[in-house]
Structure 1
Amino acid sequence: MQVLPLRVLVLEDHLFQQTVAVNMLRQIGCREVFSASNGMQALEVLQRVGPVDIALCDLRMEGMDGLEFLHRVARAGLVGAVILSSSLSEDVRRAARKLVPLLGMTLLGDAGKPLQVDALTALLKKHLDEPAVTATNSRPLVLAEIDEVRSAMQHQQMETYFQPKLNLLRGDVVGVEALTRWNHPLGGVIAPAVFMPTIESCGLLNELFFTQLNDGLELQRQALTRVGGLNIAFNLEPVQLANPDLVSTIKNVLGGYGLPGSSLTFELTESGLLEVSATCLENLVRLRMMGCRLSIDDFGVGFSSLQRLCQLPFNEIKLDAEFVRGLGSEPEPRCQAVISSTLALGKALGMSVVIEGIEKQEQYQQLLNLGCTQGQGYLFAKPMTRQDLLAWLDTRAVPGKNI
């Protein structure tokens, strides 16, 4: 029998199930297995034997329950990773699964009850194969300095990337979303989370936006012979909508390329639209009058999404990727319900619905089954430069190259 270099603690108040778990872990080959019937007893075990690699943890028990135990060991650094094993309802377990990473520990998975040896083995091997995931993900985000960002803008290091949106039924490209990536000469490609807050704080949003707009319109012109009209979506921040000259400037840029407003979509997150001024509302109306589409982005994660749909002239909903993550081999019913309800809402309001964050084939298939028709995600294509996108479009023109 292969010996796994793992020290595992079983926290389970039901004696028979505790015995089953301990024997199963030994059968799998764990080097050392300890057990306890409640949180206090488990802490005493850890004080005696030292830290363990993994805690196989029930949640509900007399005395100190599993949640309080996890709080205690997280602060003390006594457990590296956690496998949950509970018979509580799925919605409670789902919330508990979100808690573990917030406490600074790796969640290997939810084994449920009764334990299955194959599922438990897979989770243990996951820990052995990916021991450094938590350390990498828990590093604090360091924002770029203002001088660095200004220099990057001056030296044209901020490059526009494009991520395709597809018709999920036919596989053809219906548009692309324009995104900015910082191609740092030493640091490589830097994600927006590092530099976008700095760009906003130092008043460079409009400069970046109009660079994106010109790059996108140039892409449209080059793509005409490949896919015909290609709608380009741009992200707008609410502070930009407060500029009374925004729409007239966009109109002038479009005129220079000889392209209609209907070729553009503007995506706005509803979280930034809590207070809409007269200028903001007028700009939204004028963009629609030009034929532009307006999309409410990250739909479903704010507190007033439905209110914004009623108040503002949106004609597209982009459902946040969080709900797609709930789809998989064991789909979450609540996520399915949210997606179905959003599709029904979009249909009732005459709005298209775009699903973000599609990364797995099984998610794609389930979205088709739910009636989704538009989406984007890494399953189809990652964001890419203009030249890479044009080359990608050329490959899709070959028969059999769609989804």
Structure 2
Amino acid sequence: MKNLSILVLEDEPFQRLIAVTALRQLGLEKIHEAADGASALSLLEACGGVDIALCDLRMSGMDGAAFLRHASQAGVIRSVILSSEVGPELRQATTAMIRCLGLDFLGDLGKPFDMQRAADLLERHIALPTRPEALVATNAPPSLEEILRGLEQGEFEPYFQPKVCMRSGELQGAEVLARWRHPHRGVLSPGHFLPAIEHHGLVDCLFWRLLEQGLELQQELGLSGRQVNLAFNLHPRQLSNLDIAERVGQALELVGLPGSGLTFELTETGLLEAPAASLESLVRLRLMGCGLAMDDFGAGYSSLDRLCELPFSEVKLDAAFVRKLNNQPRSGAVIRGAVAMAEAMDLTLVVEGVETTEQRERLLSLGCKVAQGFLFARPLDRNSFRALLADHAHPGRH
């Protein structure tokens, strides 16, 4: 932890002293401090940036919100910890803004300074996938030539985020997420390449490469008597290809696997954008035994209508409801209602974005059973996921 660099942005001198002193007691050595956004930006330009900004919001001159926007554009910070006395609605809006800026939001420290909470949030930063400094310093999208080369060279690969039973920890499956093992930039998450892939019409190409690698893993696991359901995200444009179900069937037949090992996730927005005729593909996938999940349930406006129209087998509750559990009591009521609805419709409910033990316990009390999130596991590459499966097959082994 001592190698982390951090900026303490706080306009009140005594509060800033408390924060700096506490961070030094935690073992941090590279600590910078500033009293307003403008001086903080000048400091960061001079030192080349920091890993984390511990940021107050209310300050004279340039406030914390403006500072975060400028800092993200300059590429001089990677992660943010909030430490400010503002209401829950403003905190939530700021959290959403931080994520939209492409920064990693580690959590809300609040005031007064809580050393144990700070240590936990710093550990969360350490657990983030490595991003080379060259990538932090630029937001330039990859070129078409760069993407095509990556696809041709097999640089795009699946990472697996486990879905688990919250009470027992038993593995229920995994969502397949795209990663780009770039030869110069390291492992890139979708935020760095997916917009460009969508712009150039290469979503379908990426999907089939991920599906092929996922089926290879399932085939390998099958030889040792293990099975795992893998969930793949479908883009709205793919639904207009009426041969998608046929191609999935051919891919399954080639490796000798049943459709029950696959689930396809679609967002409500994607369903609204999909032509009516393309919904035939979803029906055909279900007829093959594949699962069908509505992703980000509750984030749109016509979720219930679509649940009634289409043969879904799973609903994934949007992570926003979990994040709001502490600050918005109605979120608990919504989650409890989603649990009852899923049970009545014979659907599996998966809660996304579970990050803390407190959230897990609250969700269990509301009747939730299956979840995914950083509390249980971050997205894993193939070897790490294979090792996780082996541990679940032999729970007593260490």
TM value normalised by structure 1: 0.70
- 2:337 corresponds, among 312, 337, 341, to 341
* 8 Å CA contact retained: 1:100, 1:107: no
Give how far 1:359 is off. 2.2
Counterparts of 1:242-321 in structure 2, within 5 Å, are 242-321=240-319
Distance 1:185-1:277 versus aligned 2 partners, 3 A rule: same
Give how far 1:371 is off. 1.4
Give how far 1:74 is off. 6.0
- 1:378 corresponds, among 374, 378, 383, to 374
Residue matched to 1:41: none
Residue matched to 1:185: 183
Residue matched to 2:210: 212
Give how far 1:121 is off. 3.2
The gaps in structure 2 that reach 5 residues or longer are 1-6, 22-34, 41-53, 72-80, 126-132
- 2:112 corresponds, among 120, 123, 128, to 120
The separation in 2 between residues aligned to 1:291 and 1:109, in whole angstroms, is 43
* 8 Å CA contact retained: 1:164, 1:383: yes
Residue matched to 1:35: none
TM value normalised by structure 2: 0.71
Distance 1:390-1:308 versus aligned 2 partners, 3 A rule: same
Q: Deviations over 1:306-353 (max 9, x none)?
A: 2322222222111122222234xx564233223222212212222111
Residue matched to 1:202: 200
- Partner of 1:121, secondary structure, is coil
Distance 1:279-1:395 versus aligned 2 partners, 3 A rule: same
Letter in 1 for 2:112: L
Larger radius of gyration: 1
Give how far 1:295 is off. 0.4
The separation in 2 between residues aligned to 1:157 and 1:94, in whole angstroms, is 38
* 8 Å CA contact retained: 1:234, 1:265: yes
The gaps in structure 1 that reach 5 residues or longer are 11-21, 32-45, 58-65, 112-118
* 8 Å CA contact retained: 1:157, 1:183: yes
Distance 1:353-1:151 versus aligned 2 partners, 3 A rule: same
Residue matched to 2:30: none
* 8 Å CA contact retained: 2:296, 2:316: yes
- What's the Cα RMSD here? 4.2
Letter in 2 for 1:120: P
Q: Deviations over 1:367-403 (max 9, x none)?
A: 222211111122222222323222221122333479x
Alignment length (residue pairs): 342
The separation in 2 between residues aligned to 1:233 and 1:29, in whole angstroms, is 43
Give how far 1:138 is off. 9.9
Letter in 2 for 1:236: L
* 8 Å CA contact retained: 1:224, 1:230: no
- 2:387 corresponds, among 391, 394, 397, to 391
Residue matched to 1:61: none
The separation in 2 between residues aligned to 1:359 and 1:82, in whole angstroms, is 17
Overall identity of the aligned pairs, in %: 39
Letter in 1 for 2:394: V
Distance 1:75-1:126 versus aligned 2 partners, 3 A rule: same
The separation in 1 between residues aligned to 2:242 and 2:19, in whole angstroms, is 68
* 8 Å CA contact retained: 2:19, 2:113: no
Letter in 2 for 1:122: D
